[in-house]
């Protein structure tokens, strides 16, 4: 049994020994590894969205001391601990710049790309795009799902996926443009008006 605290919640996970060893192997900390980012940097963590590195702390997890980025996500007011050793391979990247914001809105205004009629294939393809952490692929998912919703409607799973992708996109727009969350949502919605 593993107890993980993240902010306001405590999660209890039951792990089999092989799974626990796999997690420990994957999270192996390499002594002396330099942090790629510093406190105050605006970064994006795939599947969670954009945030600001609030601290770099050493924590003991499963008997191992490791250094972690403490990432505060302003949209959803959540904190995430990311092992520094995994930050590069885990997809942590800098927030887009002004040109990147323009490209996102260009993608949102483009015509929807062809999607599989098979719900399962479409869902998996969209999930892979979101997991990639690439903001332009997340923008494609938002655009395609909004278009599909207007034309044929969405299943409950795709509706949840759309909301998750929108939140990821909004969180990066908030930090990239320094707008308030409500204004970033309005700006995103205006791309589909």
pLDDT in tens, 14-42: 555 444 444 443 343 334 456 789 999 99
Fold of the domain built from segment(s) 98-190: Methane Monooxygenase Hydroxylase; Chain G, domain 1 (1.20.58)
pLDDT digits over 125-150, tens only?
A: 999 999 999 999 999 999 999 999 99
Fold of the domain built from segment(s) 2-94: Thrombin, subunit H (2.40.10)
With b for 16 or more beta-carbon neighbours within 10 A and e for fewer, the 113-137 pattern comes to: eebeeeeeebeeebbebbeebebeb
Which of 77, 192, 153, 91 is CA-nearest to residue 166?
192
CB 56: neighbour CB atoms within 10 A?
A: 14
- The secondary structure of 58-105, three-state, reads EEEECCEEEEEEEEEECCCCEEEEEEHHHCCCCCCEECCCHHHHHHHH
Domain with CATH 1.20.58.1290 in the chain: 98-190
pTM attached to this predicted model: 0.77
The H or E element that residue 153 is part of is none
Least confident of 13-27, 29-43, 103-117, 160-174: 13-27
């Amino acid at each position: 049994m593993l107890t993980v605290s993240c902010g306001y919640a405590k999660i209890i996970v039951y792990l089999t020994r092989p799974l626990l060893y796999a997690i420990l192997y994957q999270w192996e900390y390499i002594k002396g590894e330099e942090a790629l980012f510093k406190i105050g940097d605006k970064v994006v963590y795939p599947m969670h969205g954009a945030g600001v590195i609030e601290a770099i702390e050493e924590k003991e997890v499963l008997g191992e001391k490791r250094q972690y980025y403490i990432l505060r996500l302003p949209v959803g007011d959540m904190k995430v601990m990311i092992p520094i050793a995994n930050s590069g391979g885990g997809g942590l990247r800098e927030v887009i710049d002004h040109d990147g914001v323009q490209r996102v809105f260009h993608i949102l205004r483009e015509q929807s790309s062809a999607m599989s009629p098979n719900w399962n294939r479409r869902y998996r393809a969209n999930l892979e795009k979101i997991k990639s952490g690439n903001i332009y692929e997340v923008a494609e998912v938002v655009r395609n799902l909004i278009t599909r919703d207007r034309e044929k409607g969405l299943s409950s799973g795709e509706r949840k996926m759309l909301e998750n992708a929108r939140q990821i996109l909004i969180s990066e727009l908030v930090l990239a443009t320094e707008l308030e969350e409500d204004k970033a949502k309005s700006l995103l919605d205006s791309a589909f008006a």
